[in-house]
Amino acid sequence: MEEWINGLILLILAIGHFELWVTFINRTHALPIHEPTLKKMRHITYVMLLGFPLVLFGAVGLYSPGVLVGGEWSRLSFWWKPVFVLCVLGFLGFLVSVFRHLFYRVPRLQTESHSEMIDIREKLGHELIGDGPYHYLAGLPFNEIFCVEFSRKTFVMERLPAAWDGLTILHLSDLHFSGTLTRDYFGELCRIAGESQPDLIIFSGDLLDEMHCLDWLDETLEQLEAPLGRYFILGNHDWNQQSEQIRTALTRRGWMDVSSQTLQLEYAGHSLLIAGTEVPWMGEHPVLPAQRGEGAADFLLLVSHTPDNFYWACSQGYDLVLAGHTHGGQVRLPVVGPVFAPSVHGTRYTSGTFYRKKTLLHVSRGVSGIHPLRFLCPPEFSLLTLRARPVVET
């Protein structure tokens, strides 16, 4: 019985160690570090994730002091003790992450949510795997990469003008054109998205992983239309490519770049401000017109590639923030939830809707990724309907 208890302790320590390295990889991938360096970091992390449990169970469990075969913890070498303290702290962090996932509740401002699962491969009836990076992952069993969720969510916004009640926004994020998933996949997805006839379209970054796919725009994003316009920012994967060429290609096709700036448009007698930020990879946070002594808009919308800018957006008084970047974690474990998420907040804002200080954040799981692997975390694009808060008569 004692050996079983010792085995459980070693397992807890191994999980804690795993959490520490996951924390390291999540936080570093939220920083402006180029992909070659990040790739080296990932390789080191994989070695540590696999190697430490083997050393732990072999050295401590079976060899010295051999707690799995009758040995005593008191014989443990001193240098193991600080390592175990760190592992315990890591395990506590793991528990916090799991409980936060299990007890997540959508904000009350989200009053409706409906989803439609669309199997793009079944719908088109032909192969959609190309020869791009990591294409072998796309064909793995149980991979949900081709089963896209079209989510429709309704938000009641406190400052939304009554004249805008029912305003719809198509939120797209993280297309990651690379050739791994064929052009037909994205073309069909954009065709379905366009049928929703939104008032406004927002793309929150990460368009390309391979520059040769830039001409895919003609059959994908260019076919989308909205009466109030199409707006975009770029993401960290675009930053790793030729970002200015990507930006130019989108603007030539009628998309409006809001990165590091604000655009104000008049609609139904009220002003809507749309701002964008690509921080920490490119540019700076936009300065609101009110901070320059100009007139304030009736409603403030921020497009941010990463949800890490949420707290900044709250401090600036934005009403709605649309973000992506984290892909929902791509792989979610039962009970545990997402594990890997490139964010300074870890998995806290991996996907979904969050509310803080009168600012609502919507994080999309995105459409694709450089690693075409999804498990319990299907790709997503969303139609968001904004409703004005009813006026209470006194």
Domain count, the chain: 2
Q: Are residues 95 and 151 in the same domain?
A: no
Gap between the Cα atoms of 261 and 289, Å rounded? 10
Q: Domain limits at 362?
A: 110-388
Q: Are residues 76 and 190 in the same domain?
A: no
Among 48, 69, 102, which residue terminates a domain? 102
Q: Are residues 91 and 120 in the same domain?
A: no
Gap between the Cα atoms of 294 and 288, Å rounded? 9
Residues 275 and 286 sit within 8 Å (Cβ to Cβ) = yes
Q: Are residues 25 and 119 in the same domain?
A: no
Q: Are residues 92 and 22 in the same domain?
A: yes
pTM for the predicted model, two decimal places: 0.95
Which amino acid is it at 50?
Answer: L
Per-residue pLDDT tens digits of the chain, which is 394 residues long = 788 999 999 999 999 999 999 999 999 999 999 999 999 999 999 999 999 999 999 999 999 899 999 889 988 888 999 999 999 999 999 999 999 999 999 999 999 999 999 999 999 999 999 999 999 999 999 999 999 999 999 999 999 999 999 999 999 999 999 999 999 999 999 999 999 999 999 999 999 999 999 999 999 999 999 999 999 999 999 999 999 999 999 999 999 999 999 999 999 999 999 999 999 999 999 999 878 777 789 999 999 999 999 999 999 999 999 999 999 999 999 999 999 999 999 999 999 999 999 999 999 999 999 999 999 999 999 999 999 987 555 4
Q: Are residues 176 and 243 in the same domain?
A: yes
CATH number of the domain bearing residue 130: 3.60.21.10
Among 61, 77, 102, which residue terminates a domain? 102
Q: Are residues 161 and 16 in the same domain?
A: no
Q: Are residues 182 and 330 in the same domain?
A: yes
Q: Are residues 121 and 83 in the same domain?
A: no
- Evaluated on CA atoms 278, 283, 289, 290, the torsion sign reads positive
pLDDT value of position 392 = 53
Q: Are residues 125 and 90 in the same domain?
A: no
**238 dihedral zone (left: phi>0; alpha: psi -120 to 50; beta):** alpha
Among 53, 75, 102, which residue terminates a domain? 102
Q: Are residues 65 and 133 in the same domain?
A: no
